A and B are shown apart, each in its own frame.
Chain A
Amino acid sequence: MKIVASFSRLKEIKPLAAAGADELYCSVDPLFSFGDPVGLPGFRELGRAADAAHALGLKLSLAVNHVNPVFKLSEEAGLVRKFSAARAAGVDAFIFANPGVLTLLKRAELRGAQLHLSSVQPCFNSLTAGLFIGLGVSRVILPNQLAPREAAALLKLCAARGVDTELFDYRFFGCAYVNGRCGLHRPDNYTLKVRVPPGSMCRPEMGGAALPRAVNLRPAWQDRLPGLSARLAARFGCGGGPRLANAASFFDYFASGVQYLKYGTRPDRAAVKARKVAELRSMLDLASELAAALPRAEARERFILKMEKWDGGKVRHAS
């Protein structure tokens, strides 16, 4: 399994490589991408990034994964030219989400560049994967709300068709809501009473203070209502439901042959990015060592025990 790391400034490339990144990805401001606008300022900078990455033996992907970019007919040709320019600048792969962007990418002069399906166009089954593989996708980035056993058929299909798969590190990424389909962070959908930090609407930290009110409760559920209310208050008020992505799911994906592990928080500071990539590397090394030395079940158990004690990297990085 290889590590894919995000970056937003040229100076981050070397430290990320030193920390253990095998591939890099970024966005560029003249093109649209999902999330915070932290792209490189232009194609010249993108070319420099590609040169720097290639000099270190790393591939570079470009995120153009806006879910619903608005463009007119008259702008299509310009976008195709920009995709071609990005490829000419050295981009090895494009990460897309919107089907219209895929269409334009296929019109561009990509000269062998790969197409990766972003997790914000979430692919939860082998039929969706098959649809996009048929359209030229060579890597599927898995949504964090898909468990490895649920993904078995998808992974099998990808393996049979020579398509890579990629997952996010469960420790550093993963909202409880379906990524790419969430409208909680769009202020157009409600009226804010206070200013809130971007991206925090799904974690209001309400605690158990504001219990939800049941509406039209079915009598048969009366006895279980307190439990349901408490569960809902905890999950909605404190950041969502249970996480499917955890130490066990990581090991199972690792053992299933998923090829790439992603760290993808582009707005993080440079030092934080390098530290987190080092954490990815440590976790991968641990999984590899245990898998090589022990039967699978035992390796899995030992891996989970070790990762349960993970302290966020505080001890090692403090020393």
Chain B
Amino acid sequence: MRLEQGVKLISRPGAPGADVAAAKKLLPHLDWIYLGAEFCENLLEDGFCGEAERWQAEGKKVCLLTPLLTERGVKALGSLGRRLMAACSAGRLDPARLELTVNDLGAAALAARERWPFKLAAGRQISHNFLQLEKKHLKAVNRPTLAFFADLGIERFELSPAGRLPPANFHSRAFGLGREAFKVTLHYPYLDLTTTRTCLVGMPYVAPKDSVSGINCLRECEACSFEVDHPWIKEKLQIRGNTVFAAFPKKVQYAPAEAGRLNADRLVYSPLV
């Protein structure tokens, strides 16, 4: 199985940063460009449509990452989806080379309702429903959950394996999954440990008399990421916006055969800065 290579960009649409410059240098080696907002709906913008068009024009396949959604995010994703569909109709985007990663089951429901033709993947924040990663094993938990995701059009699951590729049960007859039943995308070099809606750097204090209408911020997450020493654990933690990450302990170099054992056919470099 060939291991496709991708890179996740974190620049805002229309404001290319160092990540975009680096991706352009690496372009011949990349199959996929990952765009969008994986962890916060406030970062979901119509402008990602234009970015998707540009990267496809460079010959790359594009995956649009989407976050946990409240109604505000549903509205933003609906708007972006309409732009993507218009771009497809106009021939500026090839729907066969555009994938949508969902981190909210409502996004999958929206894709079904709007009949979007893009392939769907379960993002790092919902794939734990199906994939249980522990130090010594990676387990696909049960067949009915796989069937549930398949009914939603999801047959790919994204995962941060924290530098290790433990034995998996994917090919065990006891679980009845089948070798071709699903694929895995591996993100490195950070494991997303936890996420909050009320951003760690960007949301004002909420007083007892305040009932908010949403998470309002000044996009403080764009300032930088932060390195934090947790007093009880050895690894340093990285925080970007509303999400806490742990860095993988060593450089990641997965052999295609090793990744193939986990049904992994795609490796995505997902930096924080």
For chain B residues 93-152, which have a beta carbon within 8 Å of chain A?
104-110, 113, 125-126, 128-135, 139, 141-149
Q: Check: A270 CB closer than 8 A to any chain B CB.
A: no
Q: Are A67 and B128 in contact (CB under 8 A)?
A: yes
Q: Are A210 and B231 in contact (CB under 8 A)?
A: yes
A128-B109, A190-B246 known; A210-B229 Cβ under 8 A:
yes
Q: Which of B139, B142, B144, B238 contacts A215 (CB 8 A)?
A: B238
Q: Which of A152, A182, A225 contacts B223 (CB 8 A)?
A: A225
Q: Check: B252 CB closer than 8 A to any chain A CB.
A: no
Q: Are B227 and A145 in contact (CB under 8 A)?
A: no
> Complex Cα distance A130/B199, Å?
27
A100-B143, A190-B235, A192-B233 known; A215-B226 Cβ under 8 A:
yes
For chain B residues 29-55, which have a beta carbon within 8 Å of chain A?
none
| A236 and chain B: residue at smallest CB distance | B200
Interface residue count for A (Cβ, 8 Å)?
86
| B73 and chain A: residue at smallest CB distance | A125
> Complex Cα distance A190/B125, Å?
18
A99-B129, A183-B191, A229-B226 known; A69-B201 Cβ under 8 A:
no
A192-B232, A242-B206, A244-B212 known; A124-B200 Cβ under 8 A:
no
Q: Are A72 and B175 in contact (CB under 8 A)?
A: yes
For B147, list chain A residues within 8 Å (CB): 100, 103
| B169 and chain A: residue at smallest CB distance | A70
A122-B68, A150-B71, A214-B226 known; A204-B231 Cβ under 8 A:
yes
Q: Are B208 and A246 in contact (CB under 8 A)?
A: yes
Q: Are A181 and B128 in contact (CB under 8 A)?
A: yes
Interface string of B69-83 (1 = CB under 8 A from A): 111111000000000
Q: Check: B192 CB closer than 8 A to any chain A CB.
A: yes
| A215 and chain B: residue at smallest CB distance | B225
Most buried by A among B70, B174, B194, B220: B194
> Complex Cα distance A150/B41, Å?
13
For B246, list chain A residues within 8 Å (CB): 189-190
For B69, list chain A residues within 8 Å (CB): 124-125, 127-128
| B231 and chain A: residue at smallest CB distance | A204
For chain A residues 225-280, which have a beta carbon within 8 Å of chain B?
225, 228-229, 231-232, 235-236, 240-244, 246-249, 251-252
Q: Are B225 and A248 in contact (CB under 8 A)?
A: no
> Complex Cα distance A252/B223, Å?
35
Q: Are A206 and B129 in contact (CB under 8 A)?
A: no
Interface string of A121-141 (1 = CB under 8 A from B): 110111110110000000000
> Complex Cα distance A154/B232, Å?
40
CB distance from B33 to the nearest CB of A (A): 20
CB distance from A94 to the nearest CB of B (A): 15
Q: Check: A10 CB closer than 8 A to any chain B CB.
A: no
Q: Are A183 and B194 in contact (CB under 8 A)?
A: yes
Q: Are B211 and A248 in contact (CB under 8 A)?
A: yes
Q: Which of A101, A183, A213, A244 contacts B193 (CB 8 A)?
A: A183
> Complex Cα distance A147/B107, Å?
19
For B59, list chain A residues within 8 Å (CB): none
> Complex Cα distance A192/B230, Å?
10
Q: Are B145 and A74 in contact (CB under 8 A)?
A: no
For A74, list chain B residues within 8 Å (CB): 174
Task: Show 28 residue pairs from A and B whose CB-CB distance is below 8 angstroms, ordered by the A residue.
Answer: A68-B145, A76-B143, A124-B104, A125-B73, A126-B74, A127-B106, A131-B106, A131-B109, A149-B211, A177-B194, A186-B134, A188-B134, A188-B135, A190-B193, A192-B232, A192-B233, A210-B231, A213-B227, A214-B226, A215-B225, A216-B225, A221-B223, A229-B226, A240-B200, A241-B242, A244-B198, A248-B208, A308-B209
10 A-B pairs with least C-beta separation: A127-B106, A100-B145, A100-B144, A241-B198, A221-B223, A99-B148, A212-B226, A103-B144, A128-B106, A216-B273
